[in-house]
Structures are given as C-alpha cells and as structure tokens.
Amino acid sequence: MGIVDELQALQSEALNAVGAANDLEALEAVRIEYLGKKGSLTRVLRGLGSLSAEERPAVGKVSNEVRGALEAGLEARRVMLADAALASRLVAEEIDVTLPGVHRYPGKRHVINQVVDEIVQVFLGLGYEIAEGPEVELDYYNFTALNHPPEHPARAATDTFYVRDLSGESAAVEGESDVLLRTHTSPVQVHVMEREQPPIYVLAPGKVYRRDVADPSHLPQFTQIEGLVVDEGITFGDLKGTLEHFVRELFGPDRRVRLRPHFFPFTEPSAEVDISCGMCDGKGCRSCGGEGWLEVLGSGMVDPNVFGYVGIDPERYSGFAFGMGAERIAALKYGVPDLRLFVDGDMRFLRQF
Ligand code: DAH
C-alpha cells in the first residue's frame, strides 16, 4: 500500500474513532493515539524523510490535509461533547431556589364598619337619614336632657370619662364635670330634636366611651347605633314592626323578636329587645346560655320629659327610639365569643370578614 493510501485509510479510521468517542476523556485518548508524539499519523509523517524528493510534496500535502481533517473532527466532537457534558451537569446539579411567595392581602373595611354599613343600609331603605353628634359631649346632652336625675349612677366618675376635672371648683361631685366622653349615642337624639321639627327619622352611628375594663362582653370604647323617630301618631306597634324588619334583614327571615319590659330614663315605656337564638331557635342551648333568646338592643317610646327639653309638643307628636352596640351585633351575627377580638388588631382574625 502506498503511503498516500495509508494516510487516507488512517484518516477514515481516525475519524471513525472520533465519532465513537462518547466523552471528553475517550476523545483525548483518540487524539493521543493519532496525533500524539507516538501517534499513528506522527509515525507515518516521520517516514516522509525516506521519500524521494519528487514524492515528498504530494505526500506532504496529503498528510497536511489528513492532519487538518483530524484536528477539525476532534474539535467539532470536543465542542459537542463539552456541550452535552455541561447540559447533563446542569440537570444533575440543579438546585431549586424558588422561595415561598410573599402574599399581600388587599385592604378592606374593618368588620365593625361593615356591620355598621349593613345596619345603615337597612334604615336608609326605610327612609331614615344619618345624623351625627360630638364624641366629647356636654353633661346636658348625655344625661340631663335625656331625663337622667342628678344622682343617676351612670353619671359617676367611676362609670364615665370626664374630660375636665372641676373637682374643688364648680363640679357638684368630686371627679365629675360638665364635659365628658359620651357614654351612648342617645345625646344625638337631643341635638337632632333641638334643630329639627318632626317628622324625624334618623339613625346615628358613632363611638361611645365607658369606664369599663375590657372583658369578653365589655369594651371601654365601642360603637353604638341610635335610632329616633318622631312624628304624628307613632305607636309602640311602629317600634315593634320596625325592629322586626331590622332583625330579619340583618340576621335572616327565621329570627323571632321578643320585647321585655325594661327601664331607660329617656323612654317610657321601655323595652329590651331579644332575638331568638340562631343555634337552637329559642329552645335553649349552650350558645344562648340556655335562654333561647339573645339581647340585641334597648328601645322605647320617647319620654314626654325629653320632648320638654327640646321644645317638641308631646300632645301633637310621639316617637320611639332604640340603641344597639355594633360590636355586640357583630359578635351575635358571626358567633364571636369575645368582643376584644374586634379591637386587638390581630389580622388572622380580622381577615376572615
Ligand atoms: N342608650 C342606651 C344604652 O346605651 C341604649 C338605648 C336604650 C337607646 C333605649 C335608646 C333607647 O334610644 O330608647 O344603654
């Protein structure tokens, strides 16, 4: 076999070996086998010295071509194997760096404001208007014009937050004064009746304050919703019908309403209003303390003495009033066992509503 044939056979043998090398190590072995110091091609090229001067250029040319083809084949295979090796390493050594996402909750109205809105909507539907009054109130509006006698226990400094301490000056009783944080929304009744003549149909939601220690059923600051109707011919039946409508709108059509005689200084007669327990429907269970009924609000017919303070003629007009605690209503509606949950600001609780 001539040397040119030998070179060509070597080329195709070497290129086959390159194609068969399945990793970089095997490829390097192929390179050494053919192009290394003791490699097959090197050995053939060394033999060139023994060729005649005429043969040498042609054989030299072929051998350069073979070397070039071999080097190109090795490089192409090396790139391919290196890419494949990298790709399989990337898969094998993959690390999942995904973090648990940060969930941002959209803001929403506080549950108490939602319940107040709901109650407001029921009475707007009956044609009532919304009224407001100051949270820092005069004794006159909070107590006197609502027919509380001077010695009424709610006036005590142990029950009411007084803003100005006039002890030793004009206060009749130590620790009391003429300016206080309103203890209920009923003084709004007096403000409304002072500035408007009947017909009056108003609802007055707002914050109230009492010197109570917070416990499951008391908060020192809470929310009341006051209702007042004054018109010709208003009867106790109007009060009852209005409250029944309200209870069914807020708690559902199956709820029954019960009125119990009670006393409030500014209404006569007065009644406390209960709704049938939603758990046992009036039979008595643990949720209603065995009573079958849950107290929701106070109400009554406006006392003629109150009309006297605001200059409304009790011979011509009559009226009813009612007042309820929004936190208590919310607790009943949602089965919340402790009013403090509404003001603690724990978002795990508040987000539920
Ligand atoms: N103001 C009373 C309270 O805070 C609630 C109340 C009772 C309001 C009877 C009324 C009413 O308007 O007629 O306990």
Q: Output the ligand 1 site: residues, CB below 6 A.
A: 184, 186, 226, 264, 267, 298-300, 321-323
pLDDT-derived band of residue 209, with 50, 70 and 90 as boundaries?
A: very high
For the CA of 184, the nearest atom of ligand 1: 4
User: What is the arithmetic mean of pLDDT over 322-343?
Assistant: 95
Residue 283: is its pLDDT beyond 60?
yes
Question: Which pLDDT score is estimated for 212?
Answer: 94
- pLDDT tens digits for 234-247? 999 999 999 999 99
pLDDT band for position 76 (cuts 50, 70, 90): very high
Mean pLDDT across 54-83: 90
Distance CA 59, CA 70 (A): 16
pLDDT on residue 57: 84
Which mutation among 137, 299, 305, 320 tests ligand 1's pocket best, with the greatest number of atoms within 8 A of CB? Answer: 299
Contact yes or no for 116/208 (Cβ under 8 A): no
Atom in ligand 1 nearest the alpha carbon of residue 183: 4
* Residue 204 in this model has a pLDDT that exceeds 60: yes
Average the pLDDT over each of 40-54, 199-213, 306-320 and give the range with the smallest value: 40-54
Distance CA 289, CA 112 (A): 24
Q: What is the pLDDT of residue 252?
A: 93
Ligand 1: centre distance to CA 63 (Å): 113
